[in-house]
Amino acid sequence: MNWTKSQSDAINTDNKNLLISAGAGCGKTAILTNRIIRLMLEEKTDIDKFLVVTFTNAAASGMKEKIRKLLYSKIKEKNNDKRYLFDQISNLEKANISTLHSFCISVIREYYHLVDVDPAFKIIDSTNANILMDEAFDMLFEDRYKKEDKDFINTSISYSFNADEEEFKNILKEIYFFIYNRPNPFKWLREKVDLFNDDFNDIENSMFIDIIKDKINGYLSLALNYSSKAKDKAIRYEANDDLLEILNMDLDGLKNTQNLLINNLEKFITLKPADIFKRFKAGGLKGEEKAEVQNLRNESKDILKKALNILTFNYKDIIDVVHELYPHMKTIEQAIIDFDAYYSHLKSEKGVLEFKDTEHLCLKILEDEKAREEILSKFDYVFVDEYQDTNLVQEAIINKVIKENNLFTVGDVKQSIYRFRQAEPEIFLDRIKNYKKDEKINKTVYMNTNFRTNKNIITGINTLFEKIMSKKTGKINYDENERLIAGRDEEIESKIEVHLINKDTAGVDSFDSELSELSTEENEITYIALMINNLIGTDIYDPELKEYRKVKFSDICILHRSANTRIKNVKEIFNKYSIPVTSEKEIEYFKTLEIETIKDFLSIINNFKDDITLLSVMRSPIFNFTVDELLEIKISTRESHYYKSIMSFINKENVNITLKDKVKNMLKVINDYSDRSLYTSVPDLISNIYEETNIMDYMSALPFGNIRVNNMKTLLIKANEYESFSNEGLYGFINFMDYAKIQSESGYAFSEDSENSVNFMSIHKSKGLEFPIVILMGCHKMFNMLDTKKPIMLNKDLGICPSLIDLDNKYKVDSIFKICAKIVENNEILSEEMRLLYVALTRAKEKLILTAYSKDTKKLIDNLPSNITPYSVEFSNSYLEWIMQGILPNKIYEEENNIIYEDNNFIVYNNKIEDLLTELSTSYINQKDDDFYLDDKIINKIKDDLNFKYKNIVNTTIPRKAGVSSLKNVDLLEVGNNVINLSEAPKFKQEKSVLSSAEKGNIIHFIFEIIDIDKLKKTENIKAEIDTQIREFINKKMIKQEEVDNIDINYIYNFFDSNIGKELIHSKKIYRELPFNLALKAKDISEKWKDSEEEILVQGIIDLTFETKDGAMILVDYKTNHYNNESEKKELLKGFEIQLNYYKRAISTLMNKNVKHSYIYFLSKNEIEEV
C-alpha cells in the first residue's frame, strides 16, 4: 500500500514513544494494526506480548478481526514464516486486545491477594449498583439523624430543594462519582475542602481572579467589537458628528474600563454602565438606519452590564463567604467518606465490584513494585486507541504499565466528545507538550490526510474551523498541524450548503395547508424531507466506483445534537413524504413493551388486587382479552374494583359461559404461578413463563422482534444477578424493576431494518462513520448551560464550588469558587460543542448540508460581531452563530434569489418552505419514467435472497410449539414463524345459515363441555334434564336456537345412554377441556427429524377424561370428522391413535395415573370407538 509520509512514520518509527494525532478520515486504525503486524514480522514479537487498549468491546473485536485478516494476507506473501503466522492467528483470541476495564479485571483476578478482594468477584450492573448506593445512603442518613447531627442536617436542608433529602443525596452522589475519576479521590477531596479554610492573603493574584478577569475582558472585547460595528454603520449611513462623538466616547470608555480591570480591580467593581455609555443621539439617522446603529450600541451596552455583574463585592466579602462555607464543605467531605465505607461494605458482602473499582484496584496493585515488574515483563509494546477519551485514572494506569519507549497512542483531540464520561482532552495535549521536551525517545506524528471527503468540503471545513476553533473554545488551535489535507484527487464541485429556513406560510396552497400549524422543528424537518425528495435520483460521485451514480435514500444521514427526542417527529413527517428512515434510539429498557408486559404479569402473580396492572395483563398477549370482553365483565357486575368484578363474574349464573371459562382459565394460570413463586426462584419462574405462554413468540413476531427477544433474555440474566445478592424473592425483584424503571436504565437500540433508508442519528452515534450525504439539522438550537445553574458545581482544578445559602436570612450568594466554576464550565461546554460540530461536519463524503431555523435572517447577520475573535466565538449561543461568523466575511446582510452568500466552498440560502414545495411539485411533474432505477447491488441482493438455501433446512421445519392434533400428520405440517397454527374457519363460512357436519359437531362438542353432569346424576330422566339444560343455555344466550335446530339432539341422548356415558355420570372426578404442555424431542416425533436435538413444546387440550368409581382413568376425544366407509374410518383412527397417545402421556405426567381406556367419539356419526 502507498502510505503517506506521516502514515509511514507512524508505522515504522522504532525506539520511541509515539503519539499519533490523526484527523478525521485519516485511517488511524489501519496504521495501528499495520504497525503491530510489522513488529510481529520484523521483531518476531508474539501477539500476546502486545497490550492493546480500545475504547469499547466492539472496537476490540473489530481490531482482532483486522489483525487476523492482515496475518492471513501475510501468509500468502513469499518469504514470510507461515508457521509463525499461523501460531499468531491461533493465539489471537487470547491476546490482550481489550478495553482497559477488561485488562484491570484480569490484573485483579491474578493479584487479588494484594487488594483483599475475592477473586470470584462479579461486575455489578448500574441498576443493582444504584440500589446498593441508595441502601448505603439510607444507612448514612439514618446514622446522622439518630445522632442528631445538626451540621449534617443544616447542610442537607441548605442544599435540598423544599427540604427534599433526595436532592442532597444526588449532590453527594455526583461528588462521589466525580472524585472517583481522580487517582487519589479522597486526598483530592480533602485538599479541595481545605481551600475553604485558607487565609487568601494574596487573592488578587490567585487563579480565581485570573479566571474572572479573563471572562470580563472577553465581555469588554466583545462590547468593543459591537461598538466598533455601530460606528462603522453610522459612518456608512453618513451620520452627523453628534452621533459619531457619542460612539467614539463609547469606544474610549470601554478601553478605559479594560485598563481598570487590569490595573485597579477595586475601582473596576464600582463602575456602572452609565459611567461609560451616555445618552444616544440620532445623528440625523432615521428609520431602519437609526434602529440598526442603536441596536448594535444596545448590544454593546448589554454585554458591558454582564461584565460588570460578574464581580460585585470586594475581597473581604469574597473571603468571608468562603470561610462561612467551610463547615458545610467539611460536613460534605465526611459524609462522602462515610458513605464510601457503607457502600464498599455492601459491595464486599455481595462479592461485587463496579468498573470504577476495577480501575482503582488495578492502580493499587501496580503500586506494588513486584507486581508491577511482573506485569511489565508480559508486554513489549502498549497501544492505546482513542487516546483523546482517556480519564485521569486510566492515564495513571497506562503510565504504570509502560516502559521507557514502548507506548503508541493514537487519537484526535478535536474528536474528544465524551466529557460526560470524564474524558480529559488535556491529557492528550499535555503528552504533546511533554514529548516536545524530550524528542530523543518521544515523537508526535500529525496524520491529517483525509481520504474520505472531497476537496471542496475539506477546504470549507478548514476555512470554518481555522476561524472558530481555538484553545479557548475547543482546547486546541486549528493550525497547520490540525488542518485536514485532501487525500482524494477528483475535482468534484460540491459546496457546503447552509439552509436558513423561515417559517412564513402565507400563500401555501392546499397541497400542504397544515404547514402553518407546524412547530419550528416540524417545519425544519418538512423542509429536509422536501430537500431529500429533490436529491433522490440526482447524480452523485462514487469514489469506489470512480463514476457518477444516482442518489439513494441510504446515501443520506441526518445528524442532530439530540436525536432521541426528535425521532418521533422525523418518522411521522418523513412517512408523509414516503421517505424511509432508519433510526437508532436508546430506549429505556424497563419501559419497553416486552419488559413492561413481563413485569406486569409478575406483579399480578404477586398481588392480584392491582386493578390497572390486572387490566394490562388481561389485555396482554398472555391472556388476550378484548376491550369488549373487559367491558362485559365490568358491566355484568357492580363492584368498585376490577379484581372484585372478576371474582363476582365467575360466580354469576347468567353470563357468557365462554368468557366465564376464559376468566377461570386466567385465574387458574395466575394462581398456579402464584403458588410456584413461593418455592421457585425468580429466574426459574420467568423461564417458566417464557416456556409456558406464547409471550416470547408473540414478541418475536413484532417489529424489532429479535431485539425484544434479546431484551427478554437479558431480563433472565438480570434476575439471576439480582438473586445472587438478594433473597427477597419475587416481591423484591418487582421492586428492583420499579427502581430500574425510575432510574431509566438504557436498553437496546431499536433500528429499522431497511437497506435503502435515510439514516437519522445523534452526532455521538455518528463518530467513526461516514456517509455520501450528511445533513446537520437544528444548528439554531441554543447550547445547553443547565449545569452552570446547580447549587454545587465541580471542577477538577477548583474543586467543590458551592453557593452560600443562608436559610435564616433567606439569601443566596455565589462563592468565588462558584463564580469561577460557572465561567470554566461554560468554556468546557462550548469546547465540547465545538468538537461535536467538527465530528458532525467530517462525516460527509460528497455533500454537506447544514440547516437551521431563522426567524429574522437580516437581524441575525446584523447582530454578528464585526470581527471574529476567540471571545466572539466564546459568547455565541449556537452552531449557527459560529457558522455564520466563520463564513460571512463582512457580516452584512445581502440577498439575491434567496442566496445571501456564496464563494468557492460555501453557499448560504435564505429559504421559505413553500418555495421548496413549489420546486418539488415542479420536479414531480417533469419527472420521467426513466428517472426511476434499481441499483445493481439491490438487484443482486434480491437474487441472492431468492436463491438462498439454508444448509440446516430440516431444523427450520421444526416448530417451537405444536398442537397435538397437528402431530398426527407431522410430515404434512405447514410451519410459519416456527409456530404451528390451528386456524378457525373463515368468517364467511362461520356466518352460513346452513351448518356443515364439522360445525354441527362443534355445537355438540360445546354442549358436552358445558352440560352440568351433577344434575344428570340426580335425575331419573336423563333425556328431560338434557332438554331443560339446553333451554337454559339458549335463554342465557350461550348457544342459539338455530344452532340447536341444526343438530340432532339424539346424539347427546344416546351418548349419555351408552356405557361410557353412564360411567361418566357416576364417575368420581371429571376433567373437561384440560390444557397441558409436554416438552418432547423432535426426533421422537418424526423420522424426518431423527438427526435433530431440537425440542418441541407439545400443547393440547384434552376434551374429556374422568376417573371411574374403581379408580380407572378414561379418556374421550370428540371428533367432527366425517367418513364414508370402514376403510376411511380406520385411516382416521390410525391418526387419532397417535394423538391420544400424547394425551395419555400428558395425563400420566399431570396426574401420575395411567389411562385404562381411550375412546374416539365421532360426533357426526354418533359412534364411539375404542383406540
Mind listing the pLDDT tens digit for each residue in 981-1035?
Answer: 322 333 333 344 456 666 677 788 878 888 888 888 888 888 999 999 888 888 7
Give domain 496-584+757-797+812-914's CATH architecture: 3-Layer(aba) Sandwich (3.40)
22: DSSP letter: E
Find out whether 27 is annotated in a ligand binding site: yes
Backbone φ and ψ of 760, nearest 5° = -135, 120
Find out whether 886 is annotated in a ligand binding site: no
Domain 961-1170, CATH among 3.40.50.300, 3.90.320.10, 1.20.1440.230, 3.30.365.10: 3.90.320.10
Distance CA 905, CA 885 (A): 15
> Which has more confidence, 992 or 630?
630
Question: Which residues have a Cβ under 8 Å from the Cβ of 979 and sit 6 or more positions away?
Answer: 694, 697, 959, 960, 961
> Which has more confidence, 353 or 1084?
353
User: Which helix or strand (DSSP H or E) is residue 766 part of?
Assistant: helix 763-766
pLDDT tens string 886-944: 998 776 788 888 899 999 999 999 987 766 665 554 444 444 344 444 445 544 544 45
Percentage of the chain with pLDDT > 70?
87
> Which has more confidence, 1110 or 470?
470
User: Which helix or strand (DSSP H or E) is residue 731 part of?
Assistant: helix 729-743
Question: Which residues have a Cβ under 8 Å from the Cβ of 485 and sit 6 or more positions away?
Answer: 448, 449, 450, 458
Distance CA 637, CA 634 (A): 5
Mean pLDDT value of segment 779-789: 91
The interaxial angle of helices 100-110 and 392-401, nearest 10 deg, is: 60
Three cell numbers, residue 236: 456608512
What per-residue confidence (pLDDT) applies to 13?
A: 96
**Which contacts of 636-644 are long-range, i.e. CB under 8 A and separated by 24 or more positions?**
641/609, 641/611, 642/611, 642/614, 642/615, 643/608, 643/609, 643/610, 643/611, 643/614
Quick one: pLDDT band at residue 420, thresholds 50, 70, 90? confident
pLDDT tens string 33-65: 999 999 999 999 999 999 999 988 888 888 999
Q: Of 102-106, 293-297, 872-876, where does the model show the most confidence?
A: 102-106
Do domains 5-121+351-447 and 496-584+757-797+812-914 share one topology? The answer is: yes
**The amino acid at 953:** I
How confident is the prediction for the chain on average, in pLDDT? 85
Q: Is the pLDDT of residue 513 over 50?
A: no
Three cell numbers, residue 832: 465540547
Bridge partners, residue 353, by sequence: 123
Question: Which residues have a Cβ under 8 Å from the Cβ of 328 and sit 6 or more positions away?
Answer: 154, 155, 158, 159, 802
Distance CA 541, CA 556 (A): 14
Find out whether 467 is annotated in a ligand binding site: no
What per-residue confidence (pLDDT) applies to 1123?
A: 78
Distance CA 1018, CA 1014 (A): 7
Distance CA 743, CA 166 (A): 13
Q: Of 267-276, 363-372, 684-693, 948-957, where does the model show the most confidence?
A: 363-372
Give domain 5-121+351-447's CATH architecture: 3-Layer(aba) Sandwich (3.40)
Lowest mean pLDDT among 337-341, 592-596, 958-962: 958-962
What per-residue confidence (pLDDT) applies to 1171?
A: 87
What sign does the dihedral 631-633-634-640 (CA atoms) show? negative
Closest by CA position to 364, among listed 710, 113, 659: 113
Find out whether 29 is annotated in a ligand binding site: yes
Distance CA 393, CA 363 (A): 8
Three cell numbers, residue 1119: 371428533
Domain boundaries, given as residue ranges, for the chain:
5-121+351-447, 145-350, 496-584+757-797+812-914, 589-743, 961-1170
794: DSSP letter: E
> Which has more confidence, 1 or 572?
572
Contact, 246 vs 280, CB < 8 A? Answer: yes
Three cell numbers, residue 791: 447549587
Phi-psi region of 1037 (alpha: psi -120 to 50; beta: other; left: phi over 0): left
Lowest mean pLDDT among 769-778, 942-951, 1101-1110: 942-951
| Dihedral angle, C-alpha 885, 887, 891, 894, nearest 10 ° | -140
Quick one: pLDDT band at residue 746, thresholds 50, 70, 90? low
Distance CA 500, CA 900 (A): 10
> Which has more confidence, 1085 or 780?
780
Q: Is the pLDDT of residue 969 over 60?
A: no
> Which has more confidence, 10 or 865?
10
Question: Which residues have a Cβ under 8 Å from the Cβ of 522 and sit 6 or more positions away?
Answer: 569, 573
Find out whether 283 is annotated in a ligand binding site: no
pLDDT tens string 177-188: 999 999 999 999
What per-residue confidence (pLDDT) applies to 590?
A: 78
Find out whether 557 is annotated in a ligand binding site: no
What per-residue confidence (pLDDT) applies to 721?
A: 77
Lowest mean pLDDT among 411-415, 448-452, 1116-1120: 1116-1120
Q: Domain 589-743 sits in which CATH superfamily?
A: PCRA; domain 4 (1.10.486.10)
pLDDT tens string 68-85: 999 999 998 888 888 899
> Which has more confidence, 793 or 510?
793
Q: Buried (b) or exposed (e) across 991-1012, using 16+ Cβ within 10 A?
A: eeeebeeebbbbbbbbbbebbe
Find out whether 23 is annotated in a ligand binding site: yes
What per-residue confidence (pLDDT) applies to 327?
A: 96
pLDDT tens string 832-875: 999 999 999 999 999 999 999 998 888 888 888 888 888 889 98
Three cell numbers, residue 256: 478605559
What per-residue confidence (pLDDT) applies to 917?
A: 60
Find out whether 820 is annotated in a ligand binding site: no
Mean pLDDT value of segment 718-739: 79
Percentage of the chain with pLDDT > 90?
46
Question: Which residues have a Cβ under 8 Å from the Cβ of 1064 and sit 6 or more positions away?
Answer: 1013, 1056, 1070, 1104, 1106, 1114, 1116
Q: Is the pLDDT of residue 799 over 90?
A: yes
Contact, 421 vs 391, CB < 8 A? Answer: yes
Distance CA 570, CA 929 (A): 29
pLDDT tens string 710-728: 888 888 888 887 777 666 7
Contact, 730 vs 573, CB < 8 A? Answer: no
